[in-house]
Each structure stands twice: as C-alpha cells, then as structure tokens.
A and B are shown apart, each in its own frame.
Chain A
C-alpha cells in the first residue's frame, strides 16, 4: 500500500550519545538545527514549543518518552490538521553508541491513522478551519 504510515531514517553521527541527546532535548540544541527558537519542559507530558523566524509555523510537541541517553519520543500534530486534532504522529529517536559515535534512528509513525467514522462525518464542526486549510492545500498542489 502506497499510503505511508511511517517514516524511518538512520544516521551515523561522529559524536557521543550525550552530545546528540543534548541536541534533541534542550532548547539550545533544538534551536541550533530544528527550529529557530525553542522552549523545552523536559519531562513526560511536558511540552516543546518551536518557532521559525521566517514563517508563522509553530510546532508544539508533547513529550511522551524520556530514557536518557537512549530514547526520546514525542507526539505532534499532523501538518494541516488542527493542533487539538486527536490524530497526531509519534516521533521516536533512538540513540545507540557505536565505536565512533552514535547511530541515531528516527521513526515517525501514525500518518495513516484514521478513525473508522471519519468518512461519515460529512458536516464536521470545523468546516471553517478547513476552508482555510484547503486553500493552502490547493496552493501547495498548484505550486508543485
């Protein structure tokens, strides 16, 4: 089936797991490679907020799993779905020490999740919000 539910990547990094862990879980680390500004409340159930200087994009992550320095997991909204939509994807980073540094895996799963009744909800309450999002979808496809 072509509908992607997961994204999986592995990279080898020439730094020890502690350095990679810091880049993934601290405000300074995240601001250096992911967002432009970040705040981190590092605890299960805590939040990460990230913003980008050149766009209105905001990412709100909810931290789900912290096993320093080997597993870090959070959920975040699916692009284009409302922030409070219950369908979120789960991102899990796994760090393994190697002889020369760290093997970092990232798995993001849940893209294909879909409540069984979604097709029946023809007149959902958030049509207004979606009117806006459709414009973006159309613009995105027009530009493609």
Chain B
C-alpha cells in the first residue's frame, strides 16, 4: 500500500514552509505510516534496535533492500525517520519520535474513557 507522501489534511494551512505543521496533520501522517504492516515493522525495528541502515533492516525483515529503501524515503518525507549523514549504502536511519508524541496525545484522548469511569462512580455511589 503506497503512502501518500505527506498528505496535507483538510484544514491544513497552505504550505508556507515556515509555519509549524498542524498537530492533526502530523498525527495523520503517523497513522497513515502505521497503517502499513511493512512500515510498522521498519519503525518497530528502529524503535527496538536503534538506528540502522536499509541493508540492516532488509536483513531483519522479510522484504528486499529496495522495498525497505522505498518505505524509508516515504517515512523520511513524512518526518518519521531522519537519515544520518553517511557514505552511500551506509546511511543510517533514526526514528524521529516527535510526530509519534503528537499522535500519542490524540490516542490518549481517545483512551481516557471517562464514560466507563463515571459509570463505575455512579454504580459505587448507588450501592452505598
């Protein structure tokens, strides 16, 4: 599944270059990236094992180096990984966590679950 490179979400300001991206647009990029199993595997490998080259990653995942490189390019464009300067084929990719934190805040709001908690509070008080 191809990643639309950096979809500018509805409501996102026209690309001015200087203004910081809208949080929702950042979160959307994270969710789009994570919707693909190969990209999840790449990000998980970088998260658990630290920075790695495309060749390293191809050795650890059931996909070719070319496929890894294609996904890394898209993830770089979306700001989810950064390439560390290096000789060709020895460029190491590093997870860039800032967009994940933005997405995590979105998930945190969904997961707070006040409905269940307030139900529990009401049940508790009605038992007394």
The interface of chain A, by Cβ under 8 A from chain B, is 1-5, 7, 9, 11, 13-15, 19-20, 23-24, 32-34, 78-81, 87, 89, 104, 106, 108, 111-114, 116, 118-119, 121-124, 127, 130-135, 137-138, 140-142
Contact = CB atoms under 8 A, between A and B. Distances in A.
Contacts of B115: 9
Given A138-B40, A138-B44, A4 B124 contact: no
B91 interface: no
Interface in B64-105: 79, 82, 94-105
Nearest to B10: A2
B106 A108 contact: no
Interface residues of B, number: 49
Given A3-B23, A138-B44, A13 B100 contact: no
Contacts of B102: 114, 118
A106 B114 CA distance: 8
Interface in B19-49: 20-24, 26-27, 31, 34, 40, 43-44, 47-48
Contact of B95 (A111, A134, A141): A134
Given A112-B23, A135-B44, A137-B107, A23 B124 contact: yes
B1 interface: no
A121 B100 CA distance: 12
B108 A13 contact: no
